[in-house]
A and B are shown apart, each in its own frame.
Chain A
Amino acid sequence: MTYQPQKNFGTPESRSDEAVSLTIDGREVTVPAGTSVMRAAAEQGTSIPKLCATDSVKSYGSCRLCLVEIDGRRGTPASCATPVEPGMVVRTQTPQLAKLRKGVMELYISDHPLDCLTCAANGDCELQDQAGAVGLRDVRYDVQATHLGQDKDHSNPYFDFDPSKCIACSRCIRACDEVQGTLALTMEGRGWDSKISAGFASDNFMGSECVSCGACVQACPTATLVEKKVVEVGTPERSVVTTCAYCGVGCTFRAEMRGEQLVRMVPCKDGKANRGHSCVKGRFAWGYAQHQERILKPMIRKSISDPWREVEWDEAFAYTASELKRISEKYGRNALGGITSSRCTNEETFLVQKLVRAGFGNNNVDTCARVCHSPTGYGLKTTFGTSAGTQDFDSVEDSDVILIIGANPTDGHPVFASRMKRRLRGQDGRPGAKLIVIDPRRTDIVRSPHIEAQHHLPLRPGTNVAVLTAMAHVIVTEGLANEAFVRERCDWDEYSHWAEFVSQARNSPENLQPVTLIDAEELRAAARLYATGGNGAIYYGLGVTEHSQGSSTVMAIANLAMATGNIGRRGVGVNPLRGQNNVQGACDMGSFPHELAGYRHISDNKARSLFENDWGVTLDPEPGLRIPNMLDAAVDGVFKALYCQGEDILQSDPNTAHVSAGLAAMECVIVHDLFLNETANYAHIFLPGSTFLEKNGTFTNAERRIQPVRKVMTPMNGLEDWEVTQKLAQAMGLNWNYSHPSEIMDEIARLTPTFAGVSFVRLDEAGSLQWPVTADAPDGSPIMHIDGFVRGKGKFVVTDYVPTDEKTGPRFPLLLTTGRILSQYNVGAQTRRTENVAWHPEDLLEIHPVDAEDRGVKSGDWVKLASRAGETTLRATVTDRVAPGVVYTTFHHAVTQANVVTTDFSDWATNCPEYKVTAVQISASNGPTEWQEEYEALSTRSRRVETGIAAE
């Protein structure tokens, strides 16, 4: 396929139901009311010349190139700014229009460098195209050097800004304002003197508010804002639609290629999750895929003190299979286990759990979702009957009140955050939605351009349940519950029991204030707003789940939504924001030790026998070990071998000392990954992995949307990840013969009722599908629980606040909570290997000015962060974003290893670790701790490779 830019309709789509018919150039066309004449023409296949209009932003009407003639109207209106009217008769091509357009183009070109042949955008430039379209042949004006000869701004690592080429169309400004919502750009000067600036005149892009989302680059019609990669390699020659492999938003991209080389990732307008937008990670941070540190050959070693030895794939598979068999014979089959990855595809994940259940002969399979969203699975399944969010992302457009708890969407889920912010700002005269944020930190969304949360409740970390119960208290005792909804949809007795509990005086906001540190009046106001403000939608993240009462908090959220009737239609719902790209999918695929694909318990005879018949094996009906249980069993000497695909448990799991003790006690640790990650320091076998650009499969995003991942280049390591698992299974004697991931999906669909209608063919047709996809809902289910809950009646669960066992005291007086930032991703294995380090070169500790002063700490100082579990050092930044008594850091860098200090307390129901609360002390420091030094030495030792070049 040759390169085709995405179709540009000039102005955004109208959502009106009313249809309007008009005639353009003699042909009749029918479009929704509110559509511009320009868009109506484009839909009919007529392209009207344009420069300042693009369909991602509202029209501006400044370039005057899109003039048309309309019967009965005087003059020549701008088609981008003229809405259609019934019976309108429009002409887009007349001699008079041609003359006017030529005149406009001449003016533009007279102030534009004529170096088209050497310009990076040559062949992909709208100015060039439009000059051609209007038949411009010569320029009568003297060159007016208003814009020429200015310095380029190269400060952003991914795109350049060349102001000499700017035509002052303001598309970039509008994209930053309307699409991204950062408002980083402004226009200085007027008319032909106008210049684009990132904030102050002295600012460059890097020094500005810019978050490098790329929306302005996408909107720019010229080479003024252009990807550095395009400058370097040239314009693309073909494109393939695929899905971002970073976060749970699941943005659709076009991978634009030159041969096997990726030129750029461009967000796809048809993407239902992102609607044409992107963030810095998906748009630009894919350089890790070709990073020199990628391991491309399998490696093995007898002991972790030996250097690695490179081997061929066949030897690697034979050796791995023989080790697994040896261990199984010596210690019993329960000594083996596997960890699936939320970064890998559904098909790959399904194969890993199948290998464990059918090949290893036990249910010791878990996924990294254990450490993030396992409480979501438990909580939503218990209350609603299904382990997933209730809405699609579009739903936010109809919300009136948005409640965010324990999530930081502008950093963690940036593209969804932009869509949410659009709703919060209000649009076209419609007032914005109201915002409630429950978070110990003042996250960016609390106060950002044109957005101010009505209520920010900066609670004490670890008191989510108390805050939500207090809100329920207000809703029930003030008579704000939607009892009609509850009577119809939920179990009334359970509701009454719950309502009686939350109404108790001990659960009032006033009574709980000393625990939560939330002003009772403020909490009451927030509860009233959520209950009575119209469509109320709750969005939550790991700040909810990663607590000793993570599951209870999820259920408390579900209780609130049911009590107020905020379930089962657009604009409302309970929405977990998933961390990694395929957390939802990994859970759906049966990665948990107690559950088969589709959330059916392993002891369910009917479900189990379905799999047994299909696979031709007998499955163990008892649940297997979860990740923390595996590590305990390893320390006890009974768990000996682990196949770990695409996860770095040493860095991402809590209490690093315990994880390393567990890994060190195993005889065979198999790491299947792109890089020699931290876990690989303890590995005996390394199987090189492939990137999302090198394989076929599907990811499922936070809205249950199953989306295709398409191979755009040959795997550098030779095999796609599902092939690696299959060959390992074959070496162990299993009779697997998949020739394409589509066959794995067919098996998933055959065995999983909610996936019954899913296939690669259907996905290609529809672009994406939201499960359940069944005979009743062949096109998927954007909103769940519409006419009733999946479990039948919605279940209210009493959630009593239980303080965590992790307590502050004289030795550890501060509470540490952890999180992430926009430019880095998870343990950073990918993003640290891209230019994104420009934004976040190290993990920093946020500390309140009062606490900092007490300890004599200033911004930039090295501090020691110590807990009961361990200690590490990092640099401090003093800020009142965090409350007094609370400190905060990220865990993106291996050298910091924030998890050295996190404890192994965990959620009572799922063992999801309590990352968000650790009692700590901070003190001045002048260098790395003993642990950091020892670990550094171990890493260097452990990464030696016998032949070839050193790995890292």
Chain B
Amino acid sequence: MTSEERLVHMANQIATNLATDAAPVTAVADHIQTFWDPRMKRMIFAHGSDGLSPVAAAAIRLLADAQNGG
């Protein structure tokens, strides 16, 4: 697995496990914001939504927008 593939795998795994949360997209975004280092975040933002589950992809978009927005 390359690092990028691993990040996709991790993001999907987080999304699957938080699927039962009341607000899964925010929960996944929060989780990544709290635990991933800046380079990992940059890599997943740059990666696009390929291979990401819908919740994971939405969470990463949310996070990326929040960072770009300020």
Interface locus among A60-68, A227-235, A627-635: A627-635
Inter-subunit contact A908/B10 (CB<8 Å): yes
A548 at interface, CB cutoff 8 A? yes
Partner pick for A622 among B10, B14, B16, B38, CB 8 A cutoff: B38
Inter-subunit contact A908/B13 (CB<8 Å): yes
Partner pick for A909 among B9, B20, B31, B37, CB 8 A cutoff: B31
Residue-wise, chain A 892-935 has the 8 Å CB interface mask toward B (1 for contact) of: 00000000000010001111000000000000000000000000
Known interface pairs A334-B39, A908-B17; A632-B6 also in contact (CB < 8 Å): yes
Inter-subunit contact B37/A622 (CB<8 Å): yes
Known interface pairs A904-B1, A909-B31; A633-B39 also in contact (CB < 8 Å): yes
Inter-subunit contact A635/B17 (CB<8 Å): no
A624 proximity list for chain B (CB < 8 A): 37
Inter-subunit contact B40/A629 (CB<8 Å): yes
Inter-subunit contact B37/A802 (CB<8 Å): no
A798 proximity list for chain B (CB < 8 A): 20-21
B31 to chain A, nearest CB (A): 7
Q: How far is the CA of A334 from the CA of B41 in the complex (A)?
A: 14
Q: Which residue of A lies closest to B1 (CB)?
A: A904
A338 to chain B, nearest CB (A): 14
Residue-wise, chain B 12-35 has the 8 Å CB interface mask toward A (1 for contact) of: 011011011110000000010011
Inter-subunit contact B34/A549 (CB<8 Å): no
B68 at interface, CB cutoff 8 A? no
A633 proximity list for chain B (CB < 8 A): 3, 39
Q: How far is the CA of A835 from the CA of B36 in the complex (A)?
A: 44
Q: Which residue of A lies closest to B43 (CB)?
A: A636
A625 proximity list for chain B (CB < 8 A): 37, 39-40
B6 proximity list for chain A (CB < 8 A): 632, 904
Inter-subunit contact A800/B35 (CB<8 Å): no
Partner pick for A908 among B16, B21, B40, CB 8 A cutoff: B16
Interface size on A, residues (CB 8 A): 34
B10 proximity list for chain A (CB < 8 A): 908, 911
Inter-subunit contact B17/A549 (CB<8 Å): yes
A638 at interface, CB cutoff 8 A? yes
Within residues 706 to 754 of chain A, which ones have a CB less than 8 A from any CB in chain B?
none
Inter-subunit contact B16/A632 (CB<8 Å): no
A199 at interface, CB cutoff 8 A? no
A594 at interface, CB cutoff 8 A? yes
Residue-wise, chain A 535-550 has the 8 Å CB interface mask toward B (1 for contact) of: 0000000000000110
Residue-wise, chain A 782-809 has the 8 Å CB interface mask toward B (1 for contact) of: 0000000000000000111010010000
A623 at interface, CB cutoff 8 A? yes
A501 at interface, CB cutoff 8 A? yes
A549 proximity list for chain B (CB < 8 A): 17
B38 proximity list for chain A (CB < 8 A): 334, 622
A672 at interface, CB cutoff 8 A? no
Q: How far is the CA of A256 from the CA of B20 in the complex (A)?
A: 57
Q: How far is the CA of A487 from the CA of B21 in the complex (A)?
A: 21
Inter-subunit contact B34/A594 (CB<8 Å): yes
Residue-wise, chain A 605-648 has the 8 Å CB interface mask toward B (1 for contact) of: 00000000000000000111110010011011010000000000
Within residues 271 to 310 of chain A, which ones have a CB less than 8 A from any CB in chain B?
none
A635 proximity list for chain B (CB < 8 A): 3
Inter-subunit contact A908/B14 (CB<8 Å): yes
Interface size on B, residues (CB 8 A): 21
Known interface pairs A635-B3, A909-B31; A548-B37 also in contact (CB < 8 Å): no
Within residues 534 to 590 of chain A, which ones have a CB less than 8 A from any CB in chain B?
548-549, 551-552
Q: How far is the CA of A931 from the CA of B65 in the complex (A)?
A: 46
A931 to chain B, nearest CB (A): 19
B39 proximity list for chain A (CB < 8 A): 334, 625, 633, 638
Q: Which residue of B lies closest to A798 (CB)?
A: B20
Q: Which residue of A lies closest to B38 (CB)?
A: A622
B23 to chain A, nearest CB (A): 12
A593 proximity list for chain B (CB < 8 A): 37
Inter-subunit contact B3/A623 (CB<8 Å): no
Q: How far is the CA of A910 from the CA of B14 in the complex (A)?
A: 10
Inter-subunit contact A364/B37 (CB<8 Å): yes
Partner pick for A623 among B9, B17, B37, CB 8 A cutoff: B37
A62 to chain B, nearest CB (A): 61
Q: How far is the CA of A940 from the CA of B3 in the complex (A)?
A: 31
Q: Which residue of B lies closest to A364 (CB)?
A: B37
Inter-subunit contact A552/B17 (CB<8 Å): yes
Q: How far is the CA of A548 from the CA of B1 in the complex (A)?
A: 17
Q: How far is the CA of A589 from the CA of B39 in the complex (A)?
A: 25
A705 at interface, CB cutoff 8 A? no
Inter-subunit contact B37/A800 (CB<8 Å): no
B46 to chain A, nearest CB (A): 13
A601 at interface, CB cutoff 8 A? yes
B31 proximity list for chain A (CB < 8 A): 909
Q: How far is the CA of A712 from the CA of B19 in the complex (A)?
A: 54
Q: How far is the CA of A800 from the CA of B13 in the complex (A)?
A: 12
Q: Which residue of B lies closest to A362 (CB)?
A: B37
Q: How far is the CA of A798 from the CA of B23 in the complex (A)?
A: 13
B9 proximity list for chain A (CB < 8 A): 805
A908 proximity list for chain B (CB < 8 A): 10, 13-14, 16-17
Q: How far is the CA of A635 from the CA of B4 in the complex (A)?
A: 12
Inter-subunit contact B14/A594 (CB<8 Å): no
Q: How far is the CA of A638 from the CA of B1 in the complex (A)?
A: 17
B22 proximity list for chain A (CB < 8 A): 497
Known interface pairs A501-B20, A798-B20, A800-B20; A909-B14 also in contact (CB < 8 Å): yes
B3 proximity list for chain A (CB < 8 A): 632-633, 635-636
Q: Which residue of A lies closest to B15 (CB)?
A: A908
A463 to chain B, nearest CB (A): 15
A629 proximity list for chain B (CB < 8 A): 37, 40
Minimum-distance CB pairs A-B, first 9: A798-B20, A908-B13, A632-B3, A908-B17, A625-B37, A622-B38, A800-B20, A802-B16, A636-B3
Given contacts A497-B22, A623-B36, 10 further A-B contacts (CB under 8 A): A603-B34, A623-B35, A632-B6, A799-B20, A802-B13, A802-B17, A805-B9, A904-B1, A908-B10, A908-B13
Q: Which residues of B are at the interface with A, using a C-beta cutoff of 8 A?
A: 1, 3, 6, 9-10, 13-14, 16-17, 19-22, 31, 34-40
Q: List 5 A-B contacts (CB under 8 A).
A: A334-B37, A497-B22, A623-B36, A635-B3, A909-B14
Q: Which residues of A are at the interface with B, using a C-beta cutoff of 8 A?
A: 334, 363-364, 497, 501, 548-549, 551-552, 593-594, 601, 603, 622-626, 629, 632-633, 635-636, 638, 798-800, 802, 805, 904, 908-911
